[in-house]
Amino acid sequence: MFEKYNMEMERICTKFSIPYACTARNTSERQHYSEYYDRKDLIAAVGQIDAEIVNRFGYTFG
């Protein structure tokens, strides 16, 4: 959904000759998301709860 936000915004703004500068807000140093899911039951629960999104966008864990 937002994985390519900056790239797409830059492309759209360039097309319409609008200046675009990516400004990061509320950023912090974080580990890779998979580091927060250290239990198989958590991985399975997220996969089940968000199955529609996972399947629609072809997400995989890891």
At residue 2, the pLDDT reads 60
Q: Are 41 and 48 in contact (CB under 8 A)?
A: no
19-62 pLDDT per residue, tens: 988 777 777 888 888 888 878 888 888 889 999 998 898 888 77
End-to-end, the C-alpha distance of the chain in Å comes to: 18
7-28 pLDDT per residue, tens: 888 899 999 999 988 777 777 8
CA distance 51 to 60: 11
At residue 52, the pLDDT reads 92
pTM here is: 0.44
